[in-house]
Amino acid sequence: MTRDIEELIRAAQELRADQAPPAERVRAALPRRTAQVKKQRRYGLGGAIVAAAAVTAAIAVPSLAVRDDTGVAATVQPAAPGTAPATASASPAAPAQEPVAAEVDLGFKPTWVPSGFAEHIRTASAADPGNGFGPVLRRVWKQNVGIGDPWTGAELSLSVFSEMAGADVDRSGQPIDVNGAQGYYSPAQNDRKSSVIWHPAQNTVLLLSASKLDISRNDLLRMARSVRPDTGVTGVPARLNWLPDGWIITGTTVSGPSPSQWRAEFSTVRNQPVTYSEKQQKETKKDRLQAAGQLSVVVGLTTDAPPGGTELTVGGRPARIPVRSDEAGRGLLYLVVDLGGGRLLTLVGSGAGLTVDDLRRIAEQTVVEPAGLDWLGR
What does DSSP say about strands 366-368 and 65-66: parallel, antiparallel, or unpaired? parallel
**Domain map of the chain by residue range?**
5-40+103-234, 45-96+236-368
Q: Which CATH architecture has domain 5-40+103-234?
A: 2-Layer Sandwich (3.30)
Q: What is the pLDDT of residue 130?
A: 65
Q: What is the pLDDT of residue 291?
A: 87
Q: How far apart are CA 6 and CA 319, in angstroms?
A: 32
Q: What is the pLDDT of residue 138?
A: 97
Q: What is the pLDDT of residue 286?
A: 54
pLDDT along the chain (378 residues), means of 10: 33 41 35 39 32 24 39 32 42 67 95 98 87 86 96 96 76 95 95 95 93 97 98 96 96 97 97 73 63 95 97 97 92 97 97 97 96 96
Q: What is the pLDDT of residue 100?
A: 93
